[in-house]
Amino acid sequence: MIKKKLIIIFSTFFLLILLAFFYLLIIDRNPSEIPSALLNKKIPKFEARSLFNEKDFVSSEVFGNEIIIVNFFSSWCKPCRDEHKYLIDFSNKVKIVGVNYKDSNEKATRWLKKSGNPYSNIAIDNKGQIAIDWGVYGIPETFVINSKGVIKYRNVGAINKKIYKEIDLIINEIK
């Protein structure tokens, strides 16, 4: 009698674990969809040096007037290089601001001159503090900011054809 109850209890427990395992396998999970506390909130304010013009980059002077894509990148980042062609294409449609993350200014400048510069301005983030304030997990990361300075979209990882279409759709929706 006790043996029978133990078998039923363990079988039920095993079945529940098995069901939970299969549930986790079939749900639609996308590792690049990391929740962001900043979605639908104003961008974090920051000041930094500008990569090309040796002036201060002041976020409050740049954001809040038009739709802007913000892209965190580095010259040493392979996925950043892979997504670069999509950023070049976006630069013909919307203003793009770059944040050069923990990179050598010389290497970043050389890479952008060679590959093309899609950015209207580039803030230097040598210590990674701007990335921390924005909740960046790793690079590349891309944000779409509306004309009021509110973050409307975030992509973790490189932009590919699918993400490009998604960002393009969002930009067209918030225009």
Do the domain assignments include residue 14?
Answer: no
Q: How many CA atoms lie within 13 A of 41 on its CB side?
A: 10
The pLDDT score that the predictor gives to residue 135 is 92
Q: Cα(144)–Cα(67) distance, rounded to whole angstroms?
A: 7
Q: Which pLDDT score, from 0 to 100, does residue 100 have?
A: 97
Residue 94 lies in a domain: yes
> Which candidate, 48, 98, 94, 97, places its Cα nearest to that of 73?
98
**pLDDT for the residue 29:** 57
pLDDT band of residue 166 (cuts 50, 70, 90) is very high
Alpha carbon distances (Å) from 1 to 49, 57, 76? 77, 76, 67
Residue 149 lies in a domain: yes
Stretch 59-65: mean pLDDT? 86
Condensed to tens digits (0 to 9), the pLDDT of residues 144-163 reads: 999 999 999 999 999 999 99
Judge whether 6 lies within some domain: no
Q: Range of 142's domain?
A: 47-174
Are 67 and 147 in contact, with CB atoms under 8 Å apart? yes
Whether the bond between 118 and the residue before it is cis, its omega within 30 degrees of 0, is no
CATH code of 159's domain: 3.40.30.10
Residue 24 included in any domain:
no
Relative to beta strand 68-73, strand 95-101 is: parallel
Q: Which band of pLDDT confidence, cut at 50, 70 and 90, is reported for residue 5?
A: confident
In the 8-state DSSP scheme, what is residue 168?
H
In tens, the pLDDT along 104-119 reads: 999 999 999 999 999 9
User: Cα–Cα distance between 159 and 90 in angstroms, integer?
Assistant: 11
Q: Do the domain assignments include residue 63?
A: yes
Look at the chain and report how many structural domains it folds into. 1
Q: What is the pLDDT of residue 1?
A: 72
Q: What pLDDT, on the 0 to 100 scale, is given for residue 35?
A: 61
Residues 94-124, buried b or exposed e (16+ Cβ, 10 A)?
bbbbbbbbebeeeebbebbeeeebbbebbbb
Residue 124 domain flag? yes
Query: Is 113 within the bounds of a domain?
Result: yes
Measured between alpha carbons, how far is residue 13 from residues 3, 8, 17, 18, 25 in Å? 15, 9, 6, 9, 19
Which residue in 123, 125, 68 sits closest to 95, CA to CA?
Answer: 68
